[in-house]
Structure 1
Amino acid sequence: MAEVYGSERPRRRRGRTLRVVILTLLVFLIVGVVVLDRFSNSYAENVLADKVATEVANQKAESSRPVVTIAGVPFLTQVLAGKYEEIRIELPDFKAQTGSGETVRMDLLDIRARDVKAPLSALRGQGDVVAGTVTGTGTIDYRLLADATGQKDLKLTEKDGKLVGSGVLAISQTQQVPVSAAADVKVVDGKVQVRFSDVNTPGLPDNPLVRTQVNAFFAQMAFELDVPKLPLNLVVQELQPLPEGLRVTFGASDVNLAAAGV
């Protein structure tokens, strides 16, 4: 019996050692795959960021270095499938010139490309990279919009989800009164158009002369702001007054990111 037990113990030790070695190798393999996946993801994001920066410059716009994030884990399975969940492109400190000379500024132009299809050949610069939908959001400061009117006394603010314009109306050389009106904001032929209505003139006498002055004041305040040419063929889709500024939503569909510079 001593001989039998003596022969089994080394086998058991060898079996445990083999399992430990295999498990260790598996751990190293998994860690290696994860590291490779994250490295490949980071490399692809940096390449895209460089291309987006070039596209921004080609549009005569400016921004800090783009921040690109390719969503979805693992990354390499998306590469092999040629499909990506979402690519997020952030353009900090975005600036672009309009056709009429104004500079549109946004602290951040946040772009999302979804349902992106890209064959392996596209990674070598061949083939199309097509996003089913591309959306972007940014906020324009109210001071910029007010400056577009050329009226230095106009102030734009948000109240109860609506844009409100206010200013000071000179009734005479000695009398100036505050006036305000709701602003109708919409997109017309690719331009941000602002018109005023529902004029509020507290304390003013209700007579034809005063009404004429008030109407002329706000008619002069009406303005249009050209929308600059944006990366990825984005166009304005929605405008939303917020306390911090006018939120602009851009969009496009079936965008060839490779053709657009990305």
Structure 2
Amino acid sequence: MEHEQTYGRRPRRRGRKILIGFGVLLLVLVGLVVVADRVAVSVAERTIADEVNQQVAQQGARSAPPEVEVGGFPFLTQVLDGRYERITIKLRDVQGSVQGEAVALPSLNVDARGVRASLDTLRSGQGDVVAETVNGTGTISYQSVADLLNREGLVLSERDGKLAVTAPVDILGQRLTATGTADIVVGEQGRIALKFDNLDVEGLPDVPLARTLVKNFARSISVDVPLPELPFGLTVREVLPRPEGLTVTADARDVPINAAG
């Protein structure tokens, strides 16, 4: 009787071993698929980084190597569908020039959504890789803006959410210090308009001529500051002063993100 009971348990043990074996095999296969997916992502990110490098170089600028991240999982299904959820590009230490003056952007982050790229385009390298929307956020150092204003001793900074200025000014033979804030207006063709309306000057002589000279100085530093050409056809929408510099927000639609186009 005991022998029969022992014999009757063996099929169940064998069945459990088979199930465990299938489970292990399934986990291995899933792991291989995930590894293949991540390898494909890595290749795509390197390819996009190369394209971005070409765009930056074509615009006469330079930067640290782009950092690219392709979002969405699994990646391979996006490849087959020819549509990618999100591609994030980070550029650091961007160096451009405007009117012969160097302009530094410590950082430029680009977020591309709804990217379309057919499988044939990826295979051949021919054709367009197009993003439905591209949003960019960059930072321009205050020193770069001050250099463009070309005023000795002028210092720009952020104060209480406003663009603040401190600058030496000569008034009736006296070397005084002017302080104040500016309104920032986004102009056409990527220009930033700085409007300094009211400046305070400690020790200013209480005479009409002195006040007129201060107003003239304020007008002289109220200028349009052009931006270097941004990649991906980005158009500036907003500029805000931050402790680290002027933060520029830009966007574009239906943008080719491969240099060849």
State TM-score, norm by structure 1. Answer: 0.91
For 1:104 and 1:84, locate their aligned partners in 2 and report how far apart those are by CA, in whole Å: 33
Residue of structure 2 in register with 1:113 after alignment: 112
Residue of structure 1 in register with 2:221 after alignment: 221
Q: Is the 8 A contact 2:164 2:179 kept in 1?
A: yes
Q: Deviations over 1:226-262 (max 9, x none)?
A: 222222111222100112211111211111223x448
- What is the DSSP-based 3-state SS (H/G/I as helix, E as strand, rest coil) of the residue aligned with 1:143? helix
Q: Is the 8 A contact 1:55 1:261 kept in 2?
A: no
Deviation of residue 184 (structure 1)?
2.1
Q: Which runs of 5+ in 1 are unaligned?
A: none
TM superposition outliers: structure 1 runs of 4+ over 6 Å: none
For 1:261 and 1:91, locate their aligned partners in 2 and report how far apart those are by CA, in whole Å: 20
Q: Is the 8 A contact 1:91 1:108 kept in 2?
A: yes
Q: Cα 1:261–1:55, aligned 2, differ >3 Å: closer, same or farther?
A: farther
For 2:188 and 2:3, locate their aligned partners in 1 and report how far apart those are by CA, in whole Å: 95
Is 2:178 the counterpart of 1:164?
no
Query: Which runs of structure 2 are paired with 1:44-83 in the superposition (5 Å)?
Result: 44-83=44-83
For 1:66 and 1:203, locate their aligned partners in 2 and report how far apart those are by CA, in whole Å: 50
Q: Is the 8 A contact 1:102 1:148 kept in 2?
A: yes
Residue of structure 2 in register with 1:97 after alignment: 97
Q: Which runs of 5+ in 2 are unaligned?
A: none
Q: Is the 8 A contact 1:96 1:105 kept in 2?
A: yes
Moved more, 215-224 or 241-250: 215-224
For 2:212 and 2:6, locate their aligned partners in 1 and report how far apart those are by CA, in whole Å: 112
Letter of the 1:123 counterpart: L
Residue of structure 2 in register with 1:187 after alignment: 186
Letter of the 1:161 counterpart: G
Aligned residues: 259
For 2:106 and 2:149, locate their aligned partners in 1 and report how far apart those are by CA, in whole Å: 22
Deviation of residue 6 (structure 1)?
5.0
- What is the DSSP-based 3-state SS (H/G/I as helix, E as strand, rest coil) of the residue aligned with 1:148? helix
Percent identity for Structure 1 against Structure 2: 43
Query: Which runs of structure 2 are paired with 1:1-262 in the superposition (5 Å)?
Result: 1=1, 4-98=4-98, 100-124=99-123, 125-173=125-173, 175-190=174-189, 191-258=191-258, 260-261=259-260
- What is the DSSP-based 3-state SS (H/G/I as helix, E as strand, rest coil) of the residue aligned with 2:229? coil
